[in-house]
Structure 1
Amino acid sequence: MSGTQEDLDAFAGGLGDALRRTGEGFAVEGRPLVDGGVTLGRRRQRRRRVSAVTGSVAALALVGFGASYATGALGGGPGYGVASGPRSQETVPAAMSSPGKGPQLSEQQVIATLEGLLPKGKVSERAGSGTADRGGPGARLVLDDGGGAAAIAVSVGTVDPGGMEAEQRLACPDKVYTPYDSCRTETLADGSRLTVLRGYEYPDKRVDTKWWSAYLVTSDGYAVDAGEWNAPAEKGAATTRPEPPLTGSQLKALVTSDAWRPVMSALGRATPEPPRQPPAPGQDGRAILKKLKALLPASAKVTAERGDDGFAYVVVNDGKGASMVQINAQSGMSDVEGELFGAGAEVLPDGTKVVTRQGPGEKGGEGVVMWTADTIRPNGLRVVVSAFNSGSQRTKATRETPALTLRQLKEIAASGEWAAAK
Structure 2
Amino acid sequence: MFTDQHKDPFEERLVTALHETGGEFDTDRTALAARGAARGRRKRFVRRAAVAGGTASVVLACVGGALVLRPGGTATEAVPSSMTASAKPKPSVTATPATGEQMIETLKNLLPDGDFSEERGRGTEPTDDLKVPAPYAGLVFDDGDGAAAVEVGVGRVQPGGTEARQAAQCPDRAYIPYDACKTSRLADGSVVTVLQRYEYADRRVDTKLWTAELVTPTGQHITVSEWNAAAEKDKPVTRTDPPLNPAQLTRLAAAKEWRTVANALPEPLPEPELPGSDLHARTNLLALLPKGLKVTDKSSDDGDFAYAVVDDGKGRSLVQVNVQPNMLDSAGDLFGSNSETLPEGTRVAVRQGRGDRADQVMWTVDTMRADGRRVVISAFNAGTQYEPATRATPALTIAQMRKMALDARWWSGS
TM-score (structure 1 length as normaliser):
0.77
AA aligned opposite 1:312? A
The offset of 1:17, in angstroms, is: 4.0
Aligned length, in residue pairs: 368
2:99 maps to which residue?
106
**Is 1:344 the counterpart of 2:338 in the alignment?**
yes
The offset of 1:24, in angstroms, is: 7.2
Query: 1:404 and 1:60, CA in 2 relative to 1: closer, same or farther beyond 3 A?
Result: farther
Which of 149, 155, 159 is equivalent to 1:161?
Answer: 159
Query: 1:340 and 1:250, CA in 2 relative to 1: closer, same or farther beyond 3 A?
Result: same
Query: 1:247 and 1:61, CA in 2 relative to 1: closer, same or farther beyond 3 A?
Result: closer
2:42 maps to which residue?
67
- Structure 2: any 5+ residue segments left out of the alignment? 50-55, 60-87, 127-131
Asked if the contact 1:356–1:373 (Cα under 8 Å) also holds between the matched residues in 2, the reply is: yes
**Is 1:135 the counterpart of 2:128 in the alignment?**
no
**Is 1:227 the counterpart of 2:225 in the alignment?**
yes
The offset of 1:57, in angstroms, is: 6.3
2:245 maps to which residue?
247
Asked if the contact 2:33–2:57 (Cα under 8 Å) also holds between the matched residues in 1, the reply is: no
2:388 maps to which residue?
396
Match of 2:4, SS state, is helix
Query: 1:144 and 1:384, CA in 2 relative to 1: closer, same or farther beyond 3 A?
Result: same
Asked if the contact 2:27–2:333 (Cα under 8 Å) also holds between the matched residues in 1, the reply is: no
Match of 2:28, SS state, is coil
**Is 1:19 the counterpart of 2:11 in the alignment?**
no
Match of 1:9, SS state, is coil
- Alpha-carbon separation, structure 2, partners of 1:218 and 1:67: 18
The offset of 1:225, in angstroms, is: 1.2
Which of 362, 366, 369 is equivalent to 1:374?
Answer: 366
Query: 1:190 and 1:66, CA in 2 relative to 1: closer, same or farther beyond 3 A?
Result: farther
2:84 maps to which residue?
none
The offset of 1:163, in angstroms, is: 1.6
Match of 1:53, SS state, is helix
Match of 1:186, SS state, is strand
Query: 1:416 and 1:201, CA in 2 relative to 1: closer, same or farther beyond 3 A?
Result: same
- Alpha-carbon separation, structure 2, partners of 1:257 and 1:290: 41
Asked if the contact 2:37–2:58 (Cα under 8 Å) also holds between the matched residues in 1, the reply is: no
The offset of 1:375, in angstroms, is: 1.4
The offset of 1:11, in angstroms, is: 9.1
The offset of 1:395, in angstroms, is: 1.3
1:87 maps to which residue?
none
Deviation sequence 1:341-396 (CA, Å, 0-9, x none): 233322334432221110111xx335111101111223332211111000111211
Query: 1:104 and 1:154, CA in 2 relative to 1: closer, same or farther beyond 3 A?
Result: same
Asked if the contact 2:220–2:262 (Cα under 8 Å) also holds between the matched residues in 1, the reply is: yes
The offset of 1:54, in angstroms, is: 3.8
Query: 1:160 and 1:24, CA in 2 relative to 1: closer, same or farther beyond 3 A?
Result: farther
2:322 maps to which residue?
328
Describe how 1:224-373 pairs up with structure 2 within 5 A: 224-265=222-263, 267-268=264-265, 270-271=267-268, 273-274=270-271, 276=273, 279=276, 283-285=278-280, 288-306=281-299, 307-361=301-355, 364-373=356-365
Match of 2:121, SS state, is strand
- Structure 1: any 5+ residue segments left out of the alignment? 1-5, 27-32, 37-50, 75-95
Asked if the contact 2:28–2:333 (Cα under 8 Å) also holds between the matched residues in 1, the reply is: no
AA aligned opposite 1:411? K
Deviation sequence 1:219-269 (CA, Å, 0-9, x none): 23312211000000011101001110100000011111223344345x155
- Alpha-carbon separation, structure 2, partners of 1:9 and 1:66: 19
Match of 1:110, SS state, is helix
TM-score (structure 2 length as normaliser):
0.78
Asked if the contact 2:279–2:411 (Cα under 8 Å) also holds between the matched residues in 1, the reply is: no
- Alpha-carbon separation, structure 1, partners of 2:19 and 2:310: 23
1:91 maps to which residue?
none
Which of 140, 144, 149 is equivalent to 1:151?
Answer: 149
**Is 1:408 the counterpart of 2:382 in the alignment?**
no
Asked if the contact 1:150–1:231 (Cα under 8 Å) also holds between the matched residues in 2, the reply is: yes
1:39 maps to which residue?
none
1:417 maps to which residue?
409
- Alpha-carbon separation, structure 1, partners of 2:351 and 2:18: 25
Match of 2:166, SS state, is helix
AA aligned opposite 2:125? A
| Backbone CA RMSD of aligned residues | 3.3
2:205 maps to which residue?
207
Per mean C-alpha deviation after superposition, the further-off stretch among 256-265 and 164-173 is 256-265
Asked if the contact 1:176–1:391 (Cα under 8 Å) also holds between the matched residues in 2, the reply is: yes
- Alpha-carbon separation, structure 1, partners of 2:303 and 2:325: 12
1:191 maps to which residue?
189
Describe how 1:49-64 pairs up with structure 2 within 5 A: 52-54=27-29, 58=33, 64=39
Query: 1:301 and 1:181, CA in 2 relative to 1: closer, same or farther beyond 3 A?
Result: same
Deviation sequence 1:60-86 (CA, Å, 0-9, x none): 657755732487999xxxxxxxxxxxx
1:124 maps to which residue?
117
- Alpha-carbon separation, structure 1, partners of 2:234 and 2:96: 37
The offset of 1:169, in angstroms, is: 2.8
- Alpha-carbon separation, structure 1, partners of 2:42 and 2:17: 12
AA aligned opposite 1:199? R
Match of 1:263, SS state, is helix
- Alpha-carbon separation, structure 2, partners of 1:129 and 1:322: 46
- Alpha-carbon separation, structure 1, partners of 2:9 and 2:134: 16
Match of 2:247, SS state, is helix
- Alpha-carbon separation, structure 1, partners of 2:115 and 2:283: 56
